[in-house]
Every structure is written in C-alpha cells, then in structure tokens.
Structure 1
Amino acid sequence: MYGENARPNAQKPPGIPEPPALPELLELGALVVDTSRADRVGEFRGVAGTRWSLRPVGGGREWEAEPGRVRPALLMEQLRARTARLNARSRGEVL
C-alpha cells in the first residue's frame, strides 16, 4: 500500500481560471476550496447569479463564494474533508 501513496501527485497545480470557464468544467458535487473562508472545502452546487453555491462535504448549510476565490481541491484536501466528515459521523455529531 505504501507504493500506491508514494507516487507523485498527477494533478495540475491549482490556477484561478476565468469565472465563466470553471462552472463548465465542474460537475455538480465536485470538491473545491473557498480561499476567502480559510481554505474551506466544499461541494460545488451551482451558480447563483454572479456567485457560486457551495456546501460542506456530505451535506450541511450552503454558502456562496466569489468565483475568483475558488479553486479545485487537491487530492489531499479532498481526503482531509471526507475523513473529517466520517470522524464526525462516528462520534454521532452528524447523521
């Protein structure tokens, strides 16, 4: 198992594309990072006017983010967000 995790990350470095381009590339539920909220990871839920709707991984209250302050989540950030959700569920904090 160690060899699987030792490979270099094949993801491209996160760049900030033009706001209209990213929603076309993102699928509903894709994980992104809102840099205006301390790099909070959220699921892309769609476009609401000039802002994007995001929600916490696994559900919760949605928030809006400026498109220029959102970038795709790295693999490590995705793993961290999903693990935090599962740990909270095991403690009985969320369903």
Structure 2
Amino acid sequence: MIEMHEDAAMYALISLMALGTISVIALVVSWFKTSLRRATSLSIFVLSLVSFGLVAKTGYLGGQIRHTEISVGAIQYNARGGEKDDD
C-alpha cells in the first residue's frame, strides 16, 4: 500500500513540476505573442485538472495507509468508554 502511495506521489510531483514550467513559459510567451495566450491558458487549465486529480489520488492512498478503520475487513470496536456503574 505504501508503494502505491509513493508511485502516485511521484506522478503528482512530476505533473506539478510540468505545470509550473508550462506556467512560466506561458507567462513569458504572453509578453511577446498575444496570439498564443488562449492556447497556453487552455493547456495550463487542462494540466492543472490532471495535477489536481493526481494529488487527490495521492492523498486518498495516503489516507488509506493511516486510517485502517476504513479498509476492508477492519475490526469495529465499541466506541463507548468510561466506567460501568452498577447502581
């Protein structure tokens, strides 16, 4: 399970680095070529959606590692605690 989380994190990191790089390139290009603004904005938007999905999947997989109560076959204990009063 940890390996799946690590793999997802690597893909998320790569997509975020690509998003940052393309954003800087788009900023520089928009200063010189105003005709390319629409194309670069669209590519940044699409890549940001992909990056969001990858980061969300990474967080979900990390939550499964930590929160064993939501995994299949987890043992449910009685949540009531405290002292038993026999009056």
TM-score when scaled to structure 1?
0.24
Q: Over alpha carbons, which structure has the higher Rg? A: 2
Q: Which has the higher helix share?
A: 2
Highest RCO, 1 vs 2 (Cα 8 Å, sep ≥ 6): 2
Q: Which has the higher strand share?
A: 1
TM-score when scaled to structure 2?
0.25
